[in-house]
Amino acid sequence: MAPRIPLPTRAELDPAQREVWDRVVAGPRGVVIGPLRAAIHNAELAGRWSALGEVLRFGTSLPKRLSELAICVTGRRWSSQVEWFVHARTAAQEGIAPAILEAIERGAPPVFTDAAEAVVYDFARELQMNGRVSDATYAAAREAFGVRGTVELTALIGYYTMVSMTLNAHGIPLPDGEREPLEPPPQGLFTLPARAP
């Protein structure tokens, strides 16, 4: 997919945009990629976007593998190629089983042996599919992660929904030479199945 907007290099930015770019590069991301390539067109938006993303990706009480699983569920719902490309790899590195990621990618019911992973999948799936979470799933998340973790999980899913929409709307490309990892649905959002019992 070709980008629909200019994706400026650092040299093409104005001073305010360069300041944000340099902060991003100096932070935990280390590089300006994905949705920040679009947001950089508004320096204030890009700065706030980056700060929120850093908190949600690197500064919550949730274990990193669970955060990455929630991001993958969200990215798959939106068939966001860049989001899946980045986060499925990270999720695997953090310990999410390849069979789980393959099932999510294909739209097959994933099988979980870890109770916390099952809760994250159910919560992210229900929120993405229904716009809300059942009482039972919410109670399971609160039991597993506490109030703070449940609030963080919800915010993480919302943030990566915005990321997916931005990547898709503007046609932000994968790194050079990489092929799209997801087969997008013919139309609309991808259906996430309930997990296997």
Where along the chain do its domains lie? 11-58, 64-170
Per-residue pLDDT of 37-53, as tens digits, reads: 999 999 999 999 999 99
| Confidence band of 84 (pLDDT split at 50, 70, 90) | very high
Contacts of 176 (CB under 8 A, 6+ apart): none
Q: Is the pLDDT of residue 181 over 80?
A: yes
Q: Are 150 and 70 in contact (CB under 8 A)?
A: no
Per-residue pLDDT of 50-69, as tens digits, reads: 999 999 999 999 999 999 99
| Rounded Cα gap, residues 57 and 160, in angstroms | 10
The pLDDT of residue 1 is: 67
Mean pLDDT throughout 173-184? 88
Q: What is the DSSP secondary structure assignment for residue 42, as one 8-state letter? A: S
| Confidence band of 186 (pLDDT split at 50, 70, 90) | confident
Which range among 19-28, 53-62, 129-138 shows the weakest confidence by mean pLDDT?
Answer: 19-28
* Max CA separation in the chain (angstroms): 54
Architecture of domain 64-170 in CATH?
A: Up-down Bundle (1.20)
Mean pLDDT throughout 66-76? 98
The pLDDT of residue 31 is: 84
Q: Is the pLDDT of residue 13 over 70?
A: yes
Residue labelled with tokens 């943030």: 159
